[in-house]
Structure 1
Amino acid sequence: MSLADEMFQAVMDASPLSAAMFGLPGWDDQLEDLSVEGEQAVRARIADILERAETSDEDPVTLAVIRHQGRALIDRTDARLVEHTVAQGLTAPVNGLLMIATKVDVSQRLDKFPVYIRQAAQRLRDTDRKPLQRHVEAGVERVQAFLDSPAQPWEGDHSAEIRAAVVEFRDQLASITDGRSDEHAGLCWLPEGVENYRKLARNYTTTSRTPEELHQLGLDVIASLREEYAEIGSKLWGTSDVPEIFRRLRTELLWDNEDQMVENAKEAIARAEAEAPNWFGRMPKADCEVRLVDEAGRSTAPIAFYMPAAQDGSRPGIYWLNPLGATERSRTLSEVTAFHEAVPGHHYQVSIAAETEMHPMRKFAFIEAYLEGWGLYTERLADEMGLYSSDEQRLGMLGLDAMRAGRLVVDTGIHAFGWSRQKAIDYLRENTVMAEPEIISEIDRYIEVPGQALAYMVGRLEILRIRGEAEQRMGERFDVRAFHDLVVGSGAVPLSTLDQIVTEWSDAP
């Protein structure tokens, strides 16, 4: 067995539900072991593989992926995130499990649910790292909504045991009355928090940039975006006053209903698919569908997210939309989000890599700076492709740029510099056009997933730099279709490795 085989097996053993989301066979009856002993066993296994990687003769790109995946898993284990992540979507162990169970086949692992849920409760019981108190309350509300609902089809014959375990988890969570205050939202307020955050920042960005450097990068990008807002605002509304442009975007361009939001997303994806052959030499075989998040999951699900197609063809790629608060949201964010999450963003990126002959370690590596960097890169690529239907929608492109730049500021602010939750909310309110429900949802996500928000803008800027340098080296030989095929066909890799791949390609005669 190669090191790539070993690492892939270890990563999927540590997160069997990731295999389920990719439709990979072999882990259908498994769930993650959340116990301290289980985590430490995985950590030791990964550390052994990393030690042997130092003298391995695997190809350099695969080794770079192995090292990143192993180091990231160890650092996230050491940060003990499972002990204080209780509210948000897929990242909170119990709420994430209940959310995923409605979207993938869990029938063969239902007997593992009670053990997993009780392990999560045990970790909360024994920890010295308290969750945010408001997240405790949100987590209780979410699991109570599950308990108040009728048994769902996915629960099968195990409903009584699963719900009994959820009751125990709810009671354990509800017993926490001394959770962290909003003033102490970040990792820096927890034991080893400052060092853990630096490691997470390194893993999520795949760079050596410090929290201080990332914070300043966000401030600089926010400042430059104001110039673009003024330019488009002058053309569209005759005003270059950025606060006035923000006001109009927040109050005048909202959805009338959720059906409008869905239809607009479908139309944007159809346009992108029609234009894609001029920008990509290879298109994915898997289709991409737009679906609404079910009502039970809307209070904790992200506003939009992508789920990859199953490898056996049983499920297409799915662009999930959360219609919660649709009439309070700017419709200008619709097209840019569809391009990021679906076409030519994550759907092309994940599906094309999955359809190659690469080792599974390369196909399914989770390297956010590459994955989310590509998604954000395609938001601007869509402008090159002429996909935005109006200047209003191009303002939406700037809106998401500002959100991602703002993430650099507030994520580092919260976790490295001790910002309060309210200070982070106020910063996004002043510097983005996000609606209030989105701002609150985003800030709570950043609190519970430290460092992940850093990946987007860092990844996009690196991909743009790599492309620009290739264009300069190649001149008229540069083919954007070939460049895009190379980037998505290489699978998820650290950004420095992507730079090496593209440099070798562009230097070839």
Structure 2
Amino acid sequence: MNSHEELIHLADRYWDARLESAPTVATMLGDHRFDDRIEDLSEEAENRLLAAYRELLEQVRALAPEQLDRQDRTTRALLHAELTDAVDRLSWRPLELASDQMMGVHAELLTVAPQFSAPHPDNAAALVTRHRRIGDMLEQAVRRFRAGLAAGRTPARLAVERSLNQLDGYLNSDLAGDAFVTLAGPADWPGEEAWRAELTQVAAEVIRPAFRRYRAALADDLLPVARPDDRAGLCWLGDDGADIYRRLLREHTTLPDLGAEEIHRTGLAELESLSAEYREIGARRFGTSDLAEIFTRLRADPELRYRDGEEIMADARAALAAATAEMKNWFGRLPRESCDIVPVPEFMEADQTAAYYFPPPADGSRPGTYYVNRYRPTEQSRFETASVAYHEAIPGHHLQLAIAAELDHLPRFQRLSFANTAFVEGWALYAERLADEMGLYTDDLGRLGMLAGDSWRSCRLVVDTGLHAMGWSRQQAVDFMLAHAPVGENNIRVEVDRYVAMPGQAVSYKVGQIEIRSQRAALAAKLGNAFDIKAFHDVVLGSGSVSLPVLRELVATL
């Protein structure tokens, strides 16, 4: 076996091990080999996976880069980084804190369930078997939460409360619309009616009782000892919390030397630079350059609020249509798969962010899906909808992730992995600004929405580090965002609670955007009139979701 073959073999072994350990993720991605299985959340399974990753990492390290071509060197670097992060993450036992409303065991199940599909009758039968095992998974999760409590790892009270609200929403929802019942089945299948009946029975007799027991554990075991709102961040867990946060910053930024203090300072500097743009556009739109007055108009003007959820959906659809028509002028490589827009399920609305996206699975069973939150439409801002659509769909997540999935010459992990958050989210934030260059914002109100999105993500650098490294309270974080981003208070509270639940993840957006922006500016200065925006974008998107160090190496080849 030569070096190239060995590298591909190791990449395939890694991806198979990852999907086998995460069967629901595999199904979501269109890999149906594990449809009858559910995640094993036991500490024993975690240790087996950790040992397998360590063995693979040692073998990847033994591959000499000089024996590989340029493309394979990129693959090796990404595989090495992803395995390193996986080993590091499993080493601190993250499942002990996975009770939150964003990445918690229940939240992930409820979020990915609508993405499941059964293309063939065998898959349909396998998914019924999986559903019967959901109770086992939730019981394992509760045992891990209790082990965390025994180790002094108490969750934030706000995260437990939001999780309870989600669980109540699911348990009180109509069984006929249950996401575990309504998943897509085989086309034109005579057995569908009986299959649906069995899914409904399993949801009623197995899944919902299991979620009730899980809810009781959160309410009875976790809530009474949870950290109060003035101690919501990881730093209040002492040295253990500080260590976890350092690890998470490395994982989410892909920059091992970037610490909390530098991230905090960068956020403050970005907010300062954005104020000049607000004043310029605010003077044109509102006749004032006073920042506080601009923010007040954006937050309080009833004309800038929606009347109902369908208006939100209509504006999101219009933004996506415009971006779809224009993207060919800015990108040489375009995705084959389309992007759908659907509402966030009602029972998830109150505790979910404004929008999120799922890429198309490898089996082609559905397009990319952009979820739009219609919660309290009269409190939602018209000026933000376009920038959110450009972030989540085109030219943001859909363009990047769908293209990545379609790079058939690359190993599966490189095309389908959700690692390298700074690149994935940094690209989507870069896309919000790119949309202005593409002529997609139809007026200054949309541009103010773009600035609001940018300042909101800049606030994250300050607030995330404030909460988890500097001991900020929940209210301190809310107050800072209210002062520096023209986002509605309800959205800010949901966002702050998200940062508490997902430490470090929120800083990745701005860190990645700054890096992509910097690489583009440096290349444009180097090439002058020879700079080609399509070529730049195609190189940035041509190797899957990459780490920021690898991105630098790729751009350097132009």
Interval of TM-score (by shorter of Structure 1 and Structure 2): over 0.9
Query: How far apart are the structure 2 equivalents of 1:418 and 1:343?
Result: 37
CA contact (8 A) 1:325 1:437 kept: no
1:338-417 equivalences under 5 Å are 338-357=389-408, 358-366=410-418, 367-417=420-470
Q: Displacement of 1:5 after TM fit?
A: 1.1
TM alignment of 1:308-323, pairs within 5 A: 308-323=359-374
What is the CA deviation profile of residues 310-356 of structure 1, one whole-angstrom value per residue up to 9, with x for unaligned ones?
22222011110010022112111100010010011111101111111
CA contact (8 A) 2:98 2:145 kept: no
**Corresponding residue for 1:80?**
93
**Secondary structure at the residue paired with 2:114?**
coil
Following the alignment from structure 1 to structure 2, what is the Cα–Cα distance between the partners of residues 272 and 102?
26
Give the conservation status (yes or no) of the 8 Å contact 2:235–2:241. Answer: yes
Which residue is 1:250 aligned to? 299
Secondary structure in 2 aligned to 1:5?
A: helix
- 2:428 counterpart SS class: helix
1: distance between equivalents of 2:293 and 2:128? 53
Q: Give the Å deviation of 1:307.
A: 0.9
Question: Superposition pairs for residues 113-132 of structure 1, below 5 Å?
Answer: 113-128=134-149, 129-132=153-156
Per-residue CA deviation, residues 62-112 of structure 1 (Å, 9 max, x unaligned), is 1221122222223333343332332324x1101321232233235452122
2:116 is aligned with 1:104: yes
Q: Deviations over 1:11-53 (max 9, x none)?
A: 2233333222322332322322211222222112112211222
Between 56-65 and 419-428, the greater mean CA deviation after superposition: 56-65
Pair 1:409–1:92, CA change in 2 (3 A): same
Q: Distance in 2 between matches of 1:305 and 1:234?
A: 32
Q: CA deviation at 1:309?
A: 1.2
Measure the CA separation in 1 of the matches of 2:59 and 2:211: 41
Deviation, 1:467, is: 1.2
- 8 Å CA contact retained: 2:61, 2:80: no
Q: Please tell me whether residue 33 in structure 1 is matched to residue 45 in structure 2.
A: no
Moved more, 464-473 or 423-432: 464-473
Measured after TM superposition, the shift of residue 232 of structure 1 is: 0.5
Distance, in Å, in 2 between the alignment partners of 1:149 and 1:330 is 28
Partner Cα separation in structure 2 for residue 324 and residue 179 of structure 1: 27
How much does 1:416 deviate?
Answer: 0.9
CA shift digits 1:228-279 (9 cap, x unpaired): 1011001111111001000000111111221111111111111111111110
SS at match of 2:356: strand
Instruction: Give 1:133's match in structure 2, choosing from 145, 157, 174.
Output: 157
2:49 counterpart letter in structure 1: V
Instruction: Work out which of the residue numbers 496, 506, 509 in structure 2 matches 1:456.
Output: 509
User: 1:174 & 1:290 partners in 2: Cα distance?
Assistant: 35
The residue identity in structure 2 corresponding to 1:257 is D
d(CA) in 2 for partners of 1:299, 1:74:
34
- Superposed, which structure 2 residues align to 1:279-290 within 5 Å? 279-290=330-341
- Mapped pair 1:185 → 2:232: yes
1:60-75 correspondence to structure 2 within 5 Å: 60-75=73-88
Moved more, 232-241 or 23-32: 23-32
Aligned partners of 1:218, 1:66: CA distance in 2, in Å?
A: 30
Give the whole-Å Cα distance in 1 for the aligned partners of 2:154 and 2:497.
15
CA contact (8 A) 2:159 2:500 kept: no
**Alignment-mate amino acid for residue 508 of structure 2:** A
Residue in structure 2 matching 1:429, options 482, 488, 492: 482
Secondary structure of residue in 1 paired with 2:341: strand
Letter in 2 for 1:19: A
Matches of 1:473 and 1:134, distance apart in 2: 49
Q: Which amino acid aligns with 2:264?
A: H
Looking at structure 2, the residues matched to 288 and 480 of structure 1 have their Cα atoms a distance apart, in angstroms, of 23
TM-score normalized by the length of structure 2: 0.87
2:217 aligns to what?
172
Aligned residue number for residue 197 of structure 1: 245
Provide the C-alpha distance between the structure 2 equivalents of 1:387 and 1:108, rounded to a whole number of angstroms.
47
1:55 to 50, 62, 65: 62
In structure 2, C-alpha distance between the alignment counterparts of 1:82 and 1:211, rounded to whole Å: 23
SS at structure 2 position matched to 1:430: helix
| TM-score (structure 1 length as normaliser) | 0.95
Alignment check: 8 A CA contact 1:65 1:365 kept: no
RMSD: 1.6
What residue is the counterpart of 1:161 in the other structure? Answer: 206
The reply on whether 1:11 has 2:24 as its aligned counterpart is: no
Measure the CA separation in 2 of the matches of 1:234 and 1:283: 38
Question: 1:431 Cα deviation (Å)?
Answer: 0.6
Question: Is the Cα–Cα contact under 8 Å of residues 84 and 132 in structure 1 kept in the other structure?
Answer: no
Distance 1:138 1:280 in 2: 40
Distance 1:30 1:69 in 2: 24
* Aligned mates of 2:29, 2:433 — CA distance in 1: 27
Aligned 8 A contact 1:309 1:318 in 2: yes
Aligned to 1:264: 315
Name the % identity. Answer: 40
* Range that drifts further, 304-313 or 125-134: 125-134
Which string of whole-angstrom CA distances, capped at 9 and with x for unpartnered residues, describes residues 139-161 of structure 1?
Answer: 22322332333433254442212
State the SS of the aligned residue for 1:306. strand
Distance 1:25 1:466 in 2: 39
Amino acid corresponding to residue 463 of structure 1 in structure 2: I
Alpha-carbon offset, residue 433 of structure 1: 0.9
CA shift, 1:364, in A, is 1.4
The structure 1 residue matched to 2:379, chosen from 328, 331, 345, is 328
Matched, 1:45 2:90: no
Structure 1 residue runs of 5 or longer lacking an equivalent are none
Q: Tell me how far 1:389 sits from its aligned partner.
A: 1.0
Shift of 1:205: 0.7
Q: Which amino acid aligns with 1:332?
A: F
Alignment correspondent of 1:212: 261
Q: Kindly tell me: are residues 246 and 79 of structure 1, through their superposed partners in 2, closer, same or farther at Cα, counting changes over 3 Å?
A: farther
| 2:282 alignment partner, one of 228, 233, 244 | 233
Where 2:342 maps in the other structure, the secondary structure is: strand
CA distance in 1: counterparts of 2:293 and 2:174, whole angstroms = 47
Task: Tell me the amino acid that sits aligned with residue 415 of structure 2.
Answer: K
